[in-house]
Amino acid sequence: MAANLAVGTVILTASALLVIRDWRWTIGIFALQYVGVMVLVQLNWPLGMALVKLVVGWMAGAALGLTQVGPAGAGHEESSWPSTRLFRILSAGLIILVVFFLSPKVAFWLPGVALSQVYGGFGLIGLGLLQIGMTARPLRVVIGLLTILAGFEILYAAVELSVLVAGLLAAVNLMLALVGSYLLNTSTEPAS
């Protein structure tokens, strides 16, 4: 039951990240997404190692959110036409349909991976790819990349139980967030 709730959480949050334009809501939804990732990873990993995913995701969100606070982040709300939001919702729905129809076939070829992990992992990968394909804004691109990586981590957690790999993936997440924060800072600073 918890796994199904986590799948719903990651799918809904990844879909909401496509539609929501306010950076404050984006960071909050991104943090909620990592709660679902932690639950899906915890199906194969001990709770302590799964909590690493949650903490790293929240740290990445905090690093990205801190670059938006203050005068530099004041004008970062994006405006969009209602048709743009409708297109994003329909595109996310198409990705979700493809994931839910293909995941049982893929789960057959991945022994040891629960069907809920396949749903969640491929859902995050597909919606993250859609996110980076629909925008050129640094915050959106970095969140899309972190979403793709979270989907990969869900699938990889079912295959490999290694503290070293968990640490390496955590370092990759944090480095990606720090690079994104740097890019956000350089894109908002006035040219001198």
Per-residue pLDDT, 118? 94
Residue 89, token pair as written in the block: 């919702």
Q: Are 126 and 100 in contact (CB under 8 A)?
A: no
Token pair 């370092």: residue: 171
Q: Are 40 and 154 in contact (CB under 8 A)?
A: yes
Q: Which residues lie below 8 Å from residue 99, measured CB to CB, with a gap of 6+?
A: 119, 122, 123, 126
Q: Which residues lie below 8 Å from residue 105, measured CB to CB, with a gap of 6+?
A: none
Q: Are 125 and 102 in contact (CB under 8 A)?
A: no
Low-confidence stretches of the chain (pLDDT < 70) are: 70-81, 188-192
Q: Which residue ranges make up each domain of the chain?
A: 2-186
Answer left, alpha or beta for residue 68, where phi above 0 means left and psi between -120 and 50 means alpha: alpha
Per-residue pLDDT, 147? 96
- Rounded Cα distance between 125 and 127, Å, is 6
Q: Are 73 and 188 in contact (CB under 8 A)?
A: yes
Alpha helix locations (H) across the chain? Answer: 2-19, 23-41, 47-66, 82-109, 115-133, 138-159, 163-188
Hey, is 88 helix, strand or coil?
helix
Per-residue pLDDT, 12? 96
